[in-house]
Amino acid sequence: MTVSAAGAPPAETPQKLYVLGHPIAHSKSPVMYNAAYERLGLPWHYGAMDLPDALDARAFLKKRDFLSVNITTPYKPLAFELATARAASARLAHGANVLVRKGDALIGYNTDGQGCVANLERAGFDFAGKRVAVCGTGPTSLAILHAAAQAGADEALLLGRDKDRAAEVLRAYVDEYGLLARATIDLPAASEGHLSFREAFDHVCFKYGSYATSTQAIAAADLIIDATPLGMAEGDPAPFDTALLHGGQWVFDAVYGHGETALVAAARAAGATALDGAGMLVAQAVVTVQIVCDIAEAPQPLGFDELFALMAEAAGFDC
């Protein structure tokens, strides 16, 4: 357990922060976060915890010897389970990619969706009125689906290998979203031009399908987001038939650091605008820094764009 003087806020004492997952040898998180916390003058150190065994990952999280942990594949459901309090972003995704310790509480968040949307908007995509298709049925996919809805998309389509599985996951998400939207005071839009929490629920048409049965919807989508792990291993195919891609579409692949994925290569060949996951990683990291500093009562005078540029440069990304 991190030890600090009685009454001293975390901002004034050395703290340990980590990225947890497997495999994470390619992760740029340590260099990004250490650059940010050094710039902010905080005595914090960010390291990597690459644990292939789920029992070891569980033991690490339960020990709580950290201020904050970023969670990546495959431990987002585990982080969600162990969180003692969960933000709406984590509840709707059924997975947490950030855990922050505050006193006896372990608070779970999911910043994947906000990071994905912020990165795409920085690149020039406008979600308002668009048709967005998201590949995958895990926590990252749901977080992105939700963020796209709040960014103003007209249609949000969840795609998976199995249509029934996609339907089950989407219905659970919509049911949870409806309960939260009606049971709480409406949360304002997080960014200018976005919808409030309740407005997005009322506005967006949520749909589901499979890669084999939703070919027309894939071809008609303005933006296709692949939030599956495909592309992390050499030779991985795209999740759907890339002959459906065409110029005018945007394609985003959440994978980064493994070379050009089959989906990104096909999208570029088809004349679509294609991006990999590097910018999303940086954008969600900026959101995470803002959350952790707020909870730790640490001064954070840098704006989003300044933090983004700092962390992208530290990672060696041109985004």
123 with 272, same domain: the answer is yes
Task: Name the residue among 135, 142, 141 with its Cα closest to residue 217.
Answer: 135
Q: Which residues pair with 48 in a beta bridge?
A: 19
- 18, 49 contact by CB (below 8 A): yes
As a residue count, the chain comes to 319
Cα–Cα distance, 117 to 134 (Å, whole number): 12
**What is the reported pLDDT for 8?**
46
Residues 127 and 24 in one domain: no
Q: Is residue 214 part of a domain?
A: yes
List the catalytic residue out of 16, 62, 76, 207. Answer: 76
Residues 222 and 187 in one domain: yes
Question: What is the CATH classification number for the domain harbouring 154?
Answer: 3.40.50.720
Print the domain residue range for 202: 113-276
Same domain? 101 vs 43: yes
The parts of the chain modelled with pLDDT lower than 50 are: 1-8
Question: Contact at 8 Å (CB) between 284 and 111?
Answer: yes
Angle at the Cα of 232 from the Cα atoms of 216 and 51, rounded to 5 degrees:
130
Same-domain pairing of 130 and 27: no
**H-only helix segments in the chain:** 29-39, 54-63, 76-82, 88-93, 112-123, 139-150, 163-183, 197-203, 215-220, 262-269, 278-295, 304-315
Domain of 50: which CATH number?
Answer: 3.40.50.10860
The 3-state DSSP class for residue 12 equals helix
| 131-135 and 223-226 strand pairing | parallel
User: CA nearest 170: which of 129, 131, 138?
Assistant: 138
User: Number of structural domains, the chain?
Assistant: 2
Cα gap 298→39, rounded to integer Å: 13
Assigned domain for 16 exists: yes
Does residue 1 fall inside a structural domain?
no
Q: Which residues of 257-266 are buried (b: 16+ CB within 10 A; e: fewer)?
A: bbeebbbbbb
Query: In this structure, are 208 and 308 located in the same domain?
Result: no
Q: Does residue 260 share a domain with residue 175?
A: yes
26-79 per-position pLDDT tens digit: 889 999 999 999 999 999 999 999 999 999 999 999 999 999 999 998 999 999
Residues 121 and 227 in one domain: yes
Together in a domain, 56 and 127 = no
Residues 308 and 249 in one domain: no
76 classed as catalytic: yes
Same domain, 104 and 147: no
Nearest-angstrom CA–CA distance, 118 and 115: 5
273, 249 contact by CB (below 8 A): yes
CB 242 within 8 A of CB 260: no
Tokens for 100, please give them: 């922050």
Q: Are residues 245 and 134 in the same domain?
A: yes
How high is the pLDDT of residue 3?
36
Q: How do residues 275-287 score in pLDDT, each as one tens digit?
A: 999 999 999 999 9
CA-wise closest residue to 15 among 311, 296, 304, 310: 296
In this predicted structure, what is the pLDDT of residue 2?
Answer: 40
- Predicted TM-score (pTM) of this structure: 0.91
Distances (CA, A) of 163 to 134, 159, 292: 13, 7, 38
Residue 236 in domain: yes
